[in-house]
Amino acid sequence: MSDVKFLVVDDSLTMRRIVVNTLKTLSYTGVLEAVDGKDAMAKLMSEGADFLITDWNMPEMNGLELTKWVRSSEQFADLPILMVTTRGNKEDVIDAMKMRVNNYIVKPFTAQGLKEKIDAILKSVEGKPA
Amino acid sequence: MGYPDHTAETQPMSMRNVVEVLFGIIPVLDQIKHSIEESTGTIPRVSTQLSNVAQATEMATVEILNVLDRMTARIGTAEETVQQLRDGGGNGGDSLTSIGQALADTRQDAMNIAMALQVQDITSQQIAGVSHMIETVRRQLLEALGHLDPSQVPAQVPGQAPATHFDVNASYTGAGERQQTADAIIKQWNKVDHE
């Protein structure tokens, strides 16, 4: 499991550090970072990733727009996506699910909460036929 | 020296002229009133938003201080255990187990402190919301000022950051409930999706 390559997208340096440190504690060492959706697109194209963890509200390109781009791209259409955001309204969650994020976590989250969401996504992805 | 006498040049204003002038002024006054009302309505929201920032930082700080208190107490106990071992007292195996547990708990507490620092992201979004509201008020007041004296309004008003860059409703409290709501929606969504 620990060879999964994560791309963590958040305009907040603090949040990126918290997510990256939590991933390292969970023995995931392959982690890339991006400051917004556009940066994430560039990182995906140049370096690739196995798992996307993205914030919603960001300048340039937000997490929902990034998800839309990922799902419509041939190369990354099946990339697991975890949305990590302060937005916790029913409508927000529905909008994110319509864009086909795999799961959704509300900030502030716990390390255990993040682990459970990642595990659940990886389990569901492993269960799918190639 | 007295004031110049323009009496001879000034035409008396007819009632019709007065009504025409008033008809021109009333919409302007309405627009000024509208701008001021909107500005006044925004100010309490700014105040509430700033209270949210203060509340979030206080909650996170208390959380961190509580964790630090626990860590300090645990380290004190571990130091006593180490001292007992140095003095040749106590059960070596039990002491090592308790020190190992203290280290594991301290690692967990360090993680809890890191998690509490998510408050920085949340408050920065709340403050971005405050800045957005203040900028909105400034624009409304400039609009009102423009009706009175256009020369006082700068030709170029700097652009405002779109409200999509931050979540004005970001909150440090109630994440558990919001997560439960999100989980319930996702569960239902996946159930329908698989059927």
First to last CA, chain A: 17
Give phi and psi for A51, each to the nearest 5.
-155, 130
The residue that leads in pLDDT, B39 or A38, is A38
Q: Identify the pLDDT of residue A130.
A: 46
Tokens of A109: 């989250």
Q: Is residue A11 in some structural domain?
A: yes
**Nearest partner of B64 among B3, B114, B15, B17, judged by Cα:** B114
Look up the CATH number of the domain holding residue A23: 3.40.50.2300
- The region that residue B97 occupies, defined by phi over 0 for left and psi between -120 and 50 for alpha, beta otherwise, is alpha
Residue A24 lies inside a defined structural domain of this protein: yes
What is the DSSP code string of B118-165?
Answer: THHHHHHHHHHHHHHHHHHHHHHHHHHHHHH-GGGS-S-PPP---GGG
pLDDT band at A128 (very low <50, low <70, confident <90, very high): low
When CB atoms are compared, the residue of A14, A89, A105 closest to B121 is A14
Domain boundaries, position A46: 6-121
* Number of domains comprising chain A: 1
Q: Name chain B contacts of A89, Cβ cutoff 8 Å.
A: 169, 178
- Tokens at A33, concatenated: 């970072």
Do residue B124 and residue A22 have CB atoms under 8 angstroms apart? no
* Mean pLDDT in residue range A21-36: 95
> What is the predicted pLDDT for the residue at B112?
94
Task: For residues B9 and A61, give the distance between their C-alpha atoms in angstroms, rounded to a whole number.
Answer: 65
Residue with tokens 């007295």: B2
Q: Which position has the higher pLDDT, A81 or B14?
A: A81
User: What are the residues facing A52 on neighbouring strands?
Assistant: A7, A81
pTM of the model: 0.83
Closest CA in chain A for residue B56: A108
Per CB-CB distance under 8 Å, the chain A contacts of B118 are 14-15, 18, 107-109
Q: What pLDDT score was predicted for residue A33?
A: 98
* Mean pLDDT across chain A: 94
How many beta carbons lie within 10 A of that of residue B12, not counting itself?
5
pLDDT of residue B194: 65
Domain boundaries, chain B: 18-151+167-194
pLDDT in the model for residue A70:
98
Predicted confidence at residue B185, as pLDDT, reads 94
- Give tens-digit pLDDT for A94-113: 999 999 999 999 999 999 99
Amino acid at B91: N
- For an interface test with A, give the residue of B55, B115, B192 to mutate (most A CBs within 10 A): B115
Q: Which amino acid is at B5?
A: D
Predicted pLDDT at B188 = 93
**Rounded-to-integer distance, Cα A88 and Cα B172, Å:** 12
Which residue in A has a C-alpha nearest to residue B123's C-alpha?
A: A86
Q: Is residue A126 in a domain?
A: no
Nearest C-alpha neighbor of A18 from the set B123, B128, B112, B61: B112
Q: Which helix (H) or strand (E) holds A24?
A: helix A13-25
Evaluate whether residue A14 is within a structural domain: yes
Which residues in chain B touch residue A11, judged by CB atoms under 8 angstroms apart? 165
What is the structure's pLDDT at B37?
Answer: 85
B186/A contact by beta carbon, under 8 A: yes
A1, part of any domain: no
Q: Which CATH architecture has domain B18-151+167-194?
A: Orthogonal Bundle (1.10)
Per-residue confidence in pLDDT tens, chain B, 195 aa: 445 555 545 566 788 888 888 888 888 888 888 888 888 888 888 899 999 999 999 999 999 999 999 999 999 999 999 999 889 887 888 889 999 999 999 999 999 999 999 999 999 999 999 999 998 888 888 888 887 777 777 766 666 666 778 898 899 988 899 999 999 999 999 888 766
Is A129 a domain residue?
no
